[in-house]
Amino acid sequence: MKTGLSFGLLLVAVGLVTLLGGASCAPQEDPTAPDFTLPSADGRQAALSQLLQEHRAVVLVFYRGLF
């Protein structure tokens, strides 16, 4: 019974978001990332704009912990 009620509330919530235009509030795709500066693996500062001037693409790798 509780599962059916939860599922019913979920369907109602999804319906309301759809009717009220929730999709228009979703983030829009943008081909350009905002410029930022972060420390590189060797401790120097690395700016996205500078890296894109030097290279065609930049890949960000987020890792947890230390290597």
Global pTM?
0.47
pLDDT of residue 47: 93
pLDDT of residue 39: 87
DSSP state for residue 43 in the 8-state scheme: S
Q: Average pLDDT by consecutive 10-residue portion of the chain (67 residues)?
A: 56 59 65 86 90 89 71
pLDDT of residue 28: 72
pLDDT of residue 25: 63
CB 46 within 8 A of CB 38: yes
What is d(CA 66, CA 57) in angstroms, rounded to the nearest whole number?
25
Under DSSP, is residue 16 helix (H, G, I), strand (E, B) or coil? helix
